[in-house]
Amino acid sequence: MTERLSVFGTGYLGATHAAGMAELGHEVIGVDVDAAKIERLSRGEVPFFEPGLPELLRKHVESGRLRFTTDAAEAAEFADIHFIGVGTPQVKNGYGADMTYVDAVIDTLAPMLTRPAVILGKSTVPVGTAARLAQKVRELAPVGDEAQLGWNPEFLREGFAVEDTLRPDRLVLGVDPKNPGRIEEVTRRVYAQALERETPFVVTDLATAELVKVSANAFLATKISFINAVAEVCDATGADVLDLADAIGHDERIGRKFLGAGLGFGGGCLPKDIRAFMARAGELGVDQALTFLREVDTVNLRRRQHVVDLAERQVGGSLRGARIAVLGAAFKPNSDDVRDSPALDVAGQLHLRGAEVRVHDPEAMDNARAVWPTLHFADTPAQAVQDADLVIVATEWREFRDLDPVATGAAVTHKRVIDGRNCLPAQAWIDAGWSYRGMGRLSS
């Protein structure tokens, strides 16, 4: 059944959700306060890199099933179901999440709701937010109790956002059990296709739905920091964290995924979500419950420092004037996102400590340049490594993993490589005469 939907916020989450919902057969209007972004999306252009999204967006903008506006009133008039997909970044002067954008959507939209409507929040928010917003919606909406809010967290991964939206591994919906209204029934209609495929659908209360999202991200962050902490011990003993991760990963209770030791996690979600989770636990008087996340964060940030220190040792004790190629700026491959990117952080720190850094990334150069305008950016990996004293692979893009160690060796001044993501075929590089340093494994 075709529903009329709006999606507030057209970033990685909102734009993908809007296009995904159109693909599921709904009529969708995307809303954003950024006029330039809306103009580009209306032309069928995606303002960021996300595989598969440009095709999907163009298809549905052309079919007329998907359109974009800066006018919230147009969305309130058109749609019966409104998704909130705006950002909740870390606040400037603390660990908490900045709720300005989410609140702004409610303050704008709710007073325009003159007929029954359902609002479904997707943004990652501190537990307790949804209950507060549900109350606010009832107060502000002319239609009163017929304006109902539920929470439907999003688990999409950048780089796989389209797939995760069209074929989610689970759906979660939070509703107020004392006041469930029509929210579950409406949500079931929106996701009818996924539900027909028997996608697990967890319907719970608002607080649990909010906590599901941050708990999932906190667990993933913990898994990564766990293996990175073990990598530090491996480095101290000569053990190999790759073999170790394979071996413990065979235990189904542990699993091999997210045990990739390296430069650690970054991006727009994991780092800020664990900090906001800690901040919220503090407000709730249970900060001790999550103090371990402080350590998860510390282990993670120590990875970046470790690579900078290792680089200094590799080039003979001083970074001043050392020519270093940093391959990668995005926080992970298949993304142009440099938010809290370990790769870009390492490049920036090396630069500040006097190294002559050349950065290349297949997609994230413009975003990286905006953050670090003083870094030197090379158009190709070959230009980045030319005459380098050290090569650091900081994001595991395929084109870096596939670099030919012999040809690369002919271009550099010193054959030294730090494999910050344990993604290179180490033996091939060693055989080609390179000094190879992995993360928690093999060095030559």
Q: Least Å distance between CB 228 and ligand UDX?
A: 8
For ligand UDX, which is the closer residue by CB, 154 or 176? Answer: 154
Distances (CA, A) of 94 to 62, 213, 275, 279, 361: 44, 21, 9, 8, 31
313-342 positions binding ligand UDX, by CB under 6 A = 331-332
Distance of alpha carbon 44 from alpha carbon 64, whole angstroms: 11
Burial 253-272 (b: 16+ CB within 10 A, else e): eeeeebbbbbbbbbbbbbbb
What is the C-alpha separation between 276 and 84, in angstroms, rounded? 19
Nearer Cβ to ligand UDX (314/395): 395
Establish if 299 lies at the interface with ligand UDX (CB under 6 A).
no
264 belongs to the binding site for ligand UDX (CB under 6 A): yes
- Taking CB under 6 A as the criterion, the residue among 10, 90, 129, 217 binding ligand UDX is 217
In the bound state with ligand UDX, the residue whose beta carbon lies nearer, of 148 and 349, is 349
Single-letter amino acid code for the residue at 94: G
Of 339 and 414, nearer to ligand UDX (C-beta) is 339
> Among candidates 399, 388, 406, which has minimal Cα distance to 347?
388
The residue count for binding ligand UDX (CB under 6 A) is: 20
Active-site annotation holds for 234: no
Say how far apart CA 219 and CA 121 lie, in whole Å: 22
Q: Does 405 bind ligand UDX (CB under 6 A)?
A: no
Please name which of 105, 148, 92 lies closest in space to residue 7, comparing C-alpha atoms.
105
Question: How many whole angstroms separate alpha carbon 223 and alpha carbon 246?
Answer: 14
Contact between 220 and ligand UDX per CB under 6 A: yes
Residues 352 and 355: their CA atoms lie apart, in Å, by 7
Q: How far is CA 152 from CA 85, 211, 244, 314, in A?
A: 10, 11, 37, 48
Specify the stretch interacting with ligand UDX by CB under 6 A; choose among 21-29, 261-269, 281-289, 434-442.
261-269
In angstroms, rounded to a whole number, what is the distance separating the alpha carbons of residues 76 and 72? 6
| Active-site residue, selected from the candidate residues 269, 279, 378, 388 | 269
Q: Segment near ligand UDX (CB under 6 A), from 50-58, 90-98, 260-268, 285-293?
A: 260-268
- Contact window for ligand UDX (CB under 6 A) among 149-157, 201-209, 320-328, 369-377: 149-157
Choosing from 80, 258, 302, 383, the residue that interacts with ligand UDX (CB under 6 A) is 258
Question: Which residues are the active-site residues?
Answer: 269
Give residues in contact with ligand UDX (CB under 6 A): 154-158, 217, 220, 224, 258-260, 262, 264-267, 269-270, 331-332
